[in-house]
Copies of this chain bind each other. A is one copy, B any other.
């Protein structure tokens, strides 16, 4: 009956794609046997409790084959994954989106589609598992992470970052099933690649196996071996793309288009599957449903076991991940100290100080850096390194792998029980942008610490100076971009980042020292307003709106203007997104009714939230240059005197 169980996946996949008139039947049809073996004999899960924390994780990195996971969802009996959803594949409002989307369909552990991301997410999931197992014991946490990856995933550069990180960290519970079908969209793999993938994975410390992806016993034997490996395992599953399609199988014709009515009929014939579209015979469906709940007893046993475990409460707290109660008082205490003793600090240093507070009260943070620990100030005093020798550590040396790091953080956040943050230079948001986008699309709590946030980094020059990156980050929906101006705002932004569960955060920080701008303590987190008056009152001639390092510049300009009898009001704008969400009346109050000058050492794009056509902007309009920071601000005209001159011009 096993072949017919796999054929159920094939039939649903080809029929759903046909009905939708678009989609990718080839991959689910090719990997149906592998998936059937995995889900009926190995995956530890309970379809009736999809959020069971100790379930095995399954990641479909080759996300275009979404019908594989939707078919599984329906066949295994996940709540909500009805045959109607399958029939509505790729239609507005359906759970069955073109690519699997986290939060839409059950059994989808991460959003995939952009190739290589799922594989790299899985590294984070496996890392989260290893850490939590070390922290709470393998009686509480002990599960595997399985990935189905395609040739595209393995050709993407991010895969190298992922596999070298996983190999280095010896993530032995990570098992990758490679759909080795020798086909990509443009034709046979041989037209674009000659890599010996097994040798490549071995070079990064992986165990490797090769099997016939249509031989269930061989697949089972390989997975069994992989489960007993002391390192992550790649299983190359030699498959036929579009398996079952007599005329198109084995070719790229099955990759991304419906098979067509005639070929579907021929495939039904070839697979001995006489059933109507979307109809699964009772006996096959019941076997699948049985597979869906075969983990129920294991889960119940686990529930009972952990209820008695001394770590039970701590584990539940970790999985809940709600820190508002502990975080706000601690941050306020810290802010009071800053009000009492103002400090001139680079905000990257201020971030380290705030993180000392955060990491003390939030035991679930997992920090890290892409080989810039001393520059990003991401490692606080008490964090041990998380390594293959010490999974209990809380600081990951991610190596020079910005993209893999960001994707691993997504995986850590998705796994749950940990809160990932990590740093690199702001300019390298470009290197990890696809993963940042997915943090935002999935709506998960990942905190990106991006230091060296402007020409203020100085001599490293334009290759390292972000100019357009604030705008480019602000362009991504559902992403909070913070640019704090001093130690107080930095602490507030950290508080907000940790409390914002369904939106990732980027905290951009300076290399250069900044005067403390907020001198009076407020219990209220003023940064939560997105923008607020930091200096001045209702009696003003001009409003200076600035963020980050330019706030102290604006305050200086205000003082200079005052000497000439011009009254300036300074608005600090640490988060445009939060400001945009303020009530209309508050926004109007902040914008005021006098001329405005926006000041930010970056391009103007995005500033129309604060500026009209008659207002001014002082910032960058080109790439930067290599020179000491103060000379650069002078050279590009981002100075107190430029602000003063422009303010006087504006008020006439």
A contacts, CB < 8 Å to B: 20, 22-23, 63, 90-94, 97-99, 101, 111-115, 151-152, 155-161, 164-165, 167-168, 184-187, 191-197, 199-200, 202-205, 369, 371-375, 385, 387, 397-404, 427-428, 430-431, 433-434, 437-438, 440-441, 458-464, 467-468, 471-472, 474-478, 603, 605-608, 611-613, 621-623, 625-628, 631-632, 635
- Let me know if B114 and A463 touch, CB within 8 A: yes
C-alpha gap A187/B341 in the complex (Å): 35
User: Which of B94, B468, B477 contacts A477, CB < 8 Å?
Assistant: B468
- Let me know if B192 and A203 touch, CB within 8 A: no
CB distance from A172 to the nearest CB of B (A): 14
- Let me know if A626 and B99 touch, CB within 8 A: yes
CB distance from A145 to the nearest CB of B (A): 20
On whether A463 and B193 interact (CB within 8 A), knowing A157-B404, A458-B22, the answer reads: no
- Let me know if B471 and A475 touch, CB within 8 A: yes
User: Which of B164, B186, B440, B460 contacts A113, CB < 8 Å?
Assistant: B460
- Let me know if B194 and A111 touch, CB within 8 A: no
- Let me know if B605 and A185 touch, CB within 8 A: no
C-alpha gap A22/B437 in the complex (Å): 34
User: Which of B63, B373, B463, B623 contacts A463, CB < 8 Å?
Assistant: B63
Residue of B whose beta carbon sits closest to that of A189: B399
* Chain B contacts for A632, CB-based, 8 A: 92
CB distance from A251 to the nearest CB of B (A): 13
* Chain B contacts for A167, CB-based, 8 A: 194-195
CB distance from A469 to the nearest CB of B (A): 8
- Let me know if B373 and A186 touch, CB within 8 A: yes
User: Which of B204, B400, B403, B612 contacts A200, CB < 8 Å?
Assistant: B204
On whether A462 and B475 interact (CB within 8 A), knowing A157-B159, A428-B114, the answer reads: no
For A98, A99, A611, A623, the residue with the greatest tally of chain B CB atoms inside 10 Å of its CB is: A98
- Let me know if A90 and B430 touch, CB within 8 A: no
* Chain B contacts for A635, CB-based, 8 A: 92
User: Which of B195, B397, B611, B628 contacts A192, CB < 8 Å?
Assistant: B397
- Let me know if A372 and B186 touch, CB within 8 A: yes
For A23, A608, A626, the residue with the greatest tally of chain B CB atoms inside 10 Å of its CB is: A626
* Chain B contacts for A93, CB-based, 8 A: 627
* Chain B contacts for A462, CB-based, 8 A: 97, 101, 441
C-alpha gap A92/B628 in the complex (Å): 8
A-B contact pairs, 25 of them (CB 8 A): A90-B627, A90-B628, A92-B625, A92-B627, A98-B459, A99-B461, A99-B464, A99-B626, A111-B463, A157-B401, A157-B403, A184-B399, A184-B400, A185-B374, A185-B375, A186-B374, A197-B203, A203-B203, A431-B434, A441-B623, A471-B471, A475-B603, A477-B603, A478-B622, A606-B606
C-alpha gap A596/B371 in the complex (Å): 49
C-alpha gap A199/B195 in the complex (Å): 12
Closest 10 CB pairs of A and B: A157-B157, A192-B399, A113-B463, A160-B160, A92-B627, A608-B608, A97-B626, A199-B203, A468-B475, A98-B461
C-alpha gap A158/B431 in the complex (Å): 9
* Chain B contacts for A187, CB-based, 8 A: 397
For A160, A374, A607, A623, the residue with the greatest tally of chain B CB atoms inside 10 Å of its CB is: A160
* Chain B contacts for A398, CB-based, 8 A: 192
C-alpha gap A187/B467 in the complex (Å): 30
CB distance from A235 to the nearest CB of B (A): 17
C-alpha gap A236/B155 in the complex (Å): 24
CB distance from A250 to the nearest CB of B (A): 18
* Chain B contacts for A91, CB-based, 8 A: 626-628, 631
- Let me know if B205 and A194 touch, CB within 8 A: yes
- Let me know if B185 and A164 touch, CB within 8 A: no
User: Which of B101, B152, B404, B433 contacts A400, CB < 8 Å?
Assistant: B152
* Chain B contacts for A199, CB-based, 8 A: 199, 202-203
C-alpha gap A626/B85 in the complex (Å): 13
List 19 other contacts, CB 8 Å, given A20-B459, A157-B404: A22-B458, A92-B627, A92-B635, A99-B463, A114-B464, A152-B400, A156-B157, A156-B161, A168-B194, A185-B373, A191-B397, A192-B398, A195-B204, A196-B203, A199-B202, A428-B434, A431-B434, A472-B472, A478-B623
C-alpha gap A186/B369 in the complex (Å): 9
- Let me know if A400 and B158 touch, CB within 8 A: no
- Let me know if B475 and A385 touch, CB within 8 A: no
